[in-house]
Every structure is written in structure tokens, then in C-alpha cells.
With several copies, the nearest count.
Chain A
Amino acid sequence: MNFGLSDEQVLLQDAIRGFLEEQTPLDNIREFAADGNGLQANIWQGLIELGATGVIIPEQFGGSDLGMFDATVIMEAIGRTVAPVPYISTAVLAPIALLGSGSDAQQQDWLNKISAGDVTFGVGLTEATGVRRDAGLTLADGKISGKALFVIDGLKADQLLLAVGTDTLVMVNANASGLTRNRLNVSDKTRGMAELLLDQVDCELIGTPGSATDTIARMIDAGRIGLAAESFGAAEILFYRARDYALERNQFERPIGSFQSIKHLCAEMIADLEPCRSLIWYAAYAYDELPEEVSLMACHAKANTQEIAKVVARSATEIHGGMGFTDLMGLHYWLKRIELNRQLLGGPEATREAAARLQGLVA
């Protein structure tokens, strides 16, 4: 029995973390945020070269067929570095969509491109996890119209995968006629979120209309696990930065980390945070091995991690004192990533309610 990473997964983790850390000194993150596109070509290219885009894609389509657990290891590393890459959308959600509902030709075509790093995807699932304002899509005569809000990584993606209602998936080319793509000004500027306005836009169906309910549910499960992993990675970095700062920073002739208030705050943070690691790992493992458990675990992994990561981010900021909320320290990039992830694919209240529903506790 081994609850945790295999030796190979440790190597993968080291490789991905090492590469991303090298690419993301604070000055670079500042540049990425100023750019605001959520897609840094050199980092993305590096991940492709490390094989990261193919981990859940079968070998026949150029992937390494490892599984969601490996993808989760990668997403945690992305959270640790707030790396601006469309990983969750392109390398996790799109392959799940294609493997779940795509035709043989679509799988052949797009999965190979994803493995090879020849395409990026934006994914719009808010139709299935919570419709806001006047968002909503309609499909008629093979054309799609309406508005898609909060398309993840959609700002610069080549292809856009969209849920129509909760049962239909379509793919739209980013250059399609009738498509307007607008930047959404989220406070986390390391992810390119988009609003899409569609007026009779050509689209490609992924599966037949009405047939993608299960696939969309799988995408939501995987997305929740991935967002939780990202937020966990970000929160863990914030925690250790705060602990380290507390040991370095002197006030009143002693390190502030020697004050019991700071020590105990750190103890509370790690006591809450550490179990999230196991919960996320298990949820990812369940995705790969225990399909009957995954949805519940994904809900709890996301809700629990997001609640805790939010408090950890606040506490880490507080331990840094005033410096904590300056751009000089840059903690806010991690905090904002956590805040954005909190809301994507269902906030904590919504995911807890989904967890209750899965257990038959909602009348």
C-alpha cells in the first residue's frame, strides 16, 4: 500500500516543479500579470516538452496515459507558481470531453494535437455549474448563439469547448465568424478568462446533442479536483513563506515567529491545510480508480480546500504585516489565484450542496 506518489510521480513532480519555479521568479510573474493573457508561450512550451499535456491521453494519441493523479501533481505545481498556462482546460478538461464524447476522428485529430502541444483550449462549463446574468447558449441548425461567461483560459485559446445546458458539448474555433471574445477583468491576472458572444457561429458537436451529460459531469469532477490542487499548491507556498518570514523578521528584538500568537496562527494554518493534500490526492485517485466515489470526493476536495486556502492566504498576508499586501512581496498573486479558483465550477456553498445531493440528502 502506498497512499501518495509513486517513485515515478515524485520524478514527475520534481521535474515540473523545478521547471516552473525556474520560470516564475516574482519579476516574471509581475510581467505575466501586466500582460494578463494567462498564456506564457515559453512556459507552455516547456510543459509540452516535459510531456505534461499528454498525461491523461492514451498512448495511441501520443499521450502517456498516466491518469488524473499525475495531472493533479502537475496542477498543484502550477498553483505553487501561479504559472500562466491553460493547463487545466487544454490538458485535462478538453481530453476528458473528447475521450468521453468525441468521435474517433475527433479523438484522433485533437488528442494528438494536445499531446504534441499544437493546440490550446478554453473551456466554458458555467452553463452546467451555475448560470449568471444573461449567459446562455442555444444550438440550432448546427449553429450556436448566445453568451458564454467565464470561459476558463478562453482569452487566447485556439479552440473553445462549451457546454450547452448540462447535456451537450460543442467546440468552436476561436477565429470563427460571428464570435466576439472579450477579456474579463478578473483580479487574478495570471489566468485568461473570457466572455464569448456568439451569433450563429459554426460549431462542431462533441457527441450528439443531449448525449454529453456524463462527460460534462466528469469534466466538472476533474475540474474541481484540479482547481483544488492548484489552490492547495498556492496555499502551501503562502504558508511556508509566512512561516519563513516569521523566522526572519525581527520586531521587538526577536523574530516575530517566536511570539506565541504567530506560532499558533501557523499551527492552525498547517493543521487545517495538511489534510487537504490527502483529500485531493484521494479524489484524484478516485477519478482514476473508484468512479463511484469521485464526484463526492471532488466536491469535498474543492469546498474544503477553498475554504481553508482562503483563510491561509489571509493569515499569511497578516503575518507579513503591511508588506503582505504590497506588490513588493507579491503574495497577492497567490491569494488572487485562490480567490478566483474558489468561484470557478461552483463556490464552496454550491459544491457542498452538490455533495449533499450526491448522497441523497437534498429533497
Chain B
Amino acid sequence: MNLNFSEEHENFRKEVQAFLKEHKATAPTMKAVNGTSAAPTPEVKRWQKILIENGYTARTIPKEYGGYGGETDLIKGLIIQEEFIAADVSTGLTGQGISMLVPTLLELGTEEQKQKWVGPTIRGEVVWCQGYSEPGAGSDLASLKTKAVVEGDQFVINGQKIWTSSAHFSDMCFILVRTEPDAPKHHGISYLLMPMTTPGIEVRPLVTITGDAMFNEVFLTDVKIGTDQIVDQRGKGWMVANATLKHERGMIGNPAQTEANLNALIKLMKTETCDGICAVDMPVFRDRLMRLQGRLLGLKLHSLRLLSDDLNGKAPDHSGLIVKYSTAYLNHELYSLGVDVMGELGTLYDGDAYQSELDWQKMFLGSFSSIIGGGTAQIQKNVISERGLGMPREPRVTLDSKGWAMM
């Protein structure tokens, strides 16, 4: 066990600290950068530019496409995260264009596509949304029905997408459509790049449990885009999307954020009272808190081990597959405890005067989105058991009306 960093990395940490000391005052707030309700402001774009220049975001993206052009260094990545979180400064934009489209284009796009999209996307000049899920295609994404028919040099797209966060202010959409209706379902899909200004696109906000419209439905009627707006080939979209999903996985399950929430919960429990008794002085609540702390520490150190294994070139096993599943429920229970210790006050939200510093009710309600989004618990457990533990795949069967398999 060796948790020390090399001298190079310790020096790098000092550089980051010096950078933060110098720029913290002029950095935009976390919320301004990572809010999901509007396109980046000029101030955010300015900040993003500084971060790229210093290699604190888009670090490994080649210079020729507008990135910093650094080598992959997980430890430096970790140091950047740690120091920026400690300083409460944003590490830059994190939308789906940057986290999913850019890596995909770098892997599978044409030279022209890379030149055209990577730079503007990482600079926040072009905002993307993701057009994958459909009302009838959730866990079974490959059953999607939105179709694109070629007419001359254009794809004509018809159908409906859902869960399209940021659709209402995006410039572009990377979208999966069915172009080969007669092919087996995984082989009939294409991955297109669609400007959101194209006629025939209607975006409707999708109100969720929190009361906010974090997501949208997108209706597509005779939407026409050039046949060159495709990544890789026709019918290969499923493979392209899986490359993208691979990039998405790293986004989910951030123990540093969960730890921040736990610390906020401890603070809450030290102040919130019932009949004059502090929540932390109620043994049953305290025990629940300690259970959560134990699980959090486990996940936090597990993530550190994953990073270390990655650094040391260990082959991935089931260990990486459990993080999203476990983190989602841990957060959910953490928010639940926050609500419970506040009692009736815990049901208040959205700016009510009796709330605590954090909106525990809204975080609790919002946590359903993390439990379900990016694969329900059932799908996660399939993945863990099949890919991680080598257990048999779910059989594909057709059932008759009584639920008997048609053989």
C-alpha cells in the first residue's frame, strides 16, 4: 500500500493550488457552470478557455482539436478534482457533448467531424443534447423506433425522443435513429448529428417529481439533415453509441460529492432539533448516520482502489460495475435521513423559509433520477452478474398470453 504521490505529482498539486489561488476570485460559481438550465454565459466560456489553456479540463484532447494535448495521467486528474473541490471552484463544463460526443468523435469520427465539432464543443460554443431514449425504448434501447429514411442526399427523420436533458437550449443533438428497418434490431441503427434548429423539431419540457423540467421530450416530424451528418456507417449506430455509453459510465457515482453530502448531513444533525433534542443526540438517527458513513467510506476507498488498479494496468473486473448501483442507493438513503431528522420540516422544499441550508426534500426526490437514469437497478444487476460475475445472460424468449415461453 502506498498512497503517496510522486514528487512530480506533488509539484503538480502545488501548481494547481497556485492557479486556484490566483484565479479563484474571478471564477464563476459552480452553479453558473454546471447548471443545466441554460447555455454557457460569456463568463463561463471565458473560464472554460482558461481551464483548457492550463490543462485543467479537456486535458487529454489533442491540441489540433482545441484541447490541451496532455498525456493521460489519472493521478493528475485526481489532483485536479481534489484541489478544485477543496477550493469550491468548478472544473469546467460537463455537458453530454463534452463527456460523451467528444470522446466518441475522437474515436470514430472523420477528420472533418473532429475539426468541425471538438473545439467548439469543449469551448462551450456548441451545446449538445443526447437523442437516445424513446418512450418505448428505455432499458431495451436497441428497440428504438425513430426512423430516418434517405431521400436524395438527406435523412428524413420521424419519431420521438425522451429524457433529452438540455434539449431546450442545445445547438446540436447526437441522435440514434433506425435507418435499416429490415436488419436485426442492433444492426439497423445509425448515429447522426442533428442541428436543433432544423425545422420539424419540437421540444416539450418534461416535468418530473421535483417539479422542475430537467428533461424534455423531443418530437421529430420530417426533420431533414444531410446524409453526411453520420458518425461511422449506416447500421453501425449501436456500436457507436456503446462507445459513447462507455464514456458515460465514468460520469456516474462521485464519492466526493456523496462525502460532501454526508458532511452536510452531520452539520444538519448537529443543529436540527425535536423537542429541544439535537438529531445527532438521538441514538437511532446517529446509528443510521454511522451506517451511511461506513458505506460511504467503503465506496470512497473502493473508488480509490479502482483508480489505483487502472493506474497499475490491472484488468477490470466486477469492481467497477458496482459503483453506480451502490452510489445511487447510498445517496438516496442519505437524503432520506436528512428528511427524517428534520421531521415535518423535511417535507418543505423549493425555497420554503423553514428549509435548512440544503434542500433535502428536493435532493431526496431528485435521487430517483440517479437510481433509474442510466439503467435501472435491475439492468445494473444484470450487468454486474453477467459481465462482472460471468453468470448466464437473460434468455431472450417470447411469451404467450399466459406467460409461457413460445419455443
Contacts and interface: CB of A to CB of B under 8 A. Distances in A.
> Is any CB of A less than 8 Å from a CB of B in the complex?
yes
Nearest to B2: A2
Interface in A271-326: 271-272, 274-279, 281-282, 284-285, 289, 297, 300, 303-304, 307, 310, 314, 317-318, 321-326
A258 B289 contact: no
Contact of B301 (A254, A278, A327, A361): A278
B264 interface: no
B176 to A, nearest CB: 16
A303 B290 contact: yes
Interface in B286-305: 286-287, 289-291, 293-295, 297-299, 301-302, 304-305
A272 B291 CA distance: 13
Give the size category of B's interface with A: 35 or more
Contacts of A202: none
Interface in B103-161: 133, 135-140, 143
B358 interface: no
B207 interface: yes
Contacts of B371: 314, 318
Nearest to A321: B138
B203 interface: no
Interface in A225-254: 243, 246-247, 250-254
Nearest to B163: A322
B261 interface: no
Given A6-B1, A361-B280, A187 B322 contact: no
B326 A271 contact: yes
Given A4-B308, A317-B368, A352-B294, A133 B345 contact: yes
B309 A4 contact: yes
Interface string A143-173: 0000001100000000000000000000000
Contact of A317 (B301, B319, B372): B372
A361 B143 contact: no
A29 B297 CA distance: 35
Interface stretch (A47-55, A92-100, A101-109, A337-345): A337-345
Interface stretch (B166-174, B239-247, B387-395): B387-395
Given A185-B351, A263-B386, A322-B163, A3 B307 contact: yes
A24 B275 CA distance: 38
B343 A347 contact: yes
B42 interface: no
B398 A253 contact: yes
A254 B406 CA distance: 11
A264 B290 CA distance: 27
Contacts of B26: none
Contacts of B295: 275, 304
B208 interface: yes
A271 B322 contact: yes
B372 A259 contact: no
A281 B365 CA distance: 30
A328 B382 CA distance: 28
B347 A187 contact: yes
A362 to B, nearest CB: 7
Contacts of B229: none
A352 B208 CA distance: 33
A349 B351 CA distance: 27
A317 B210 CA distance: 14
B298 A279 contact: yes
A356 B290 contact: yes
A270 interface: yes
B94 interface: no
A263 B304 contact: no
Contact of A2 (B215, B308, B388): B308
B390 to A, nearest CB: 8
A216 interface: no
B138 A251 contact: yes
Contacts of A281: 1, 301, 305
A349 B391 contact: no
Given A184-B354, A258-B392, A356 B138 contact: no
Contacts of A6: 1-2
Contacts of B344: 126, 130, 132, 149-150, 193, 343-344
Contacts of B266: 359, 361
A325 B385 CA distance: 24
B136 to A, nearest CB: 8
Contact of A304 (B298, B322, B349): B298
A119 B172 CA distance: 57
A126 B344 CA distance: 9
Interface string A171-214: 00000000000001111100001010000000000000000000
Interface of A: 1-6, 69, 126, 130-133, 149-150, 184-188, 193, 195, 243, 246-247, 250-264, 266-268, 270-272, 274-279, 281-282, 284-285, 289, 297, 300, 303-304, 307, 310, 314, 317-318, 321-328, 332, 335-336, 339-340, 342-344, 347-350, 352-353, 355-356, 359, 361-363
Given A184-B354, A282-B301, 7 more contacts: A2-B311, A263-B391, A279-B302, A281-B301, A297-B297, A347-B343, A361-B286
Interface of B: 1-5, 75, 133, 135-140, 143, 162-163, 206-209, 211, 215, 266, 269-270, 272-276, 278, 280-287, 289-291, 293-295, 297-299, 301-302, 304-305, 307-309, 311-312, 318-319, 322, 325-326, 332, 336, 339-340, 342-352, 354, 361-362, 364-365, 368-369, 371-373, 376-378, 380-382, 384-386, 388-392, 394-399, 403
8 contacts: A185-B349, A186-B347, A187-B362, A243-B389, A246-B391, A325-B365, A335-B209, A339-B339
Would you list the 8 A-B pairs with minimal beta carbon distance, nearest first?
Answer: A275-B298, A3-B308, A304-B294, A251-B140, A352-B290, A278-B301, A263-B385, A185-B352
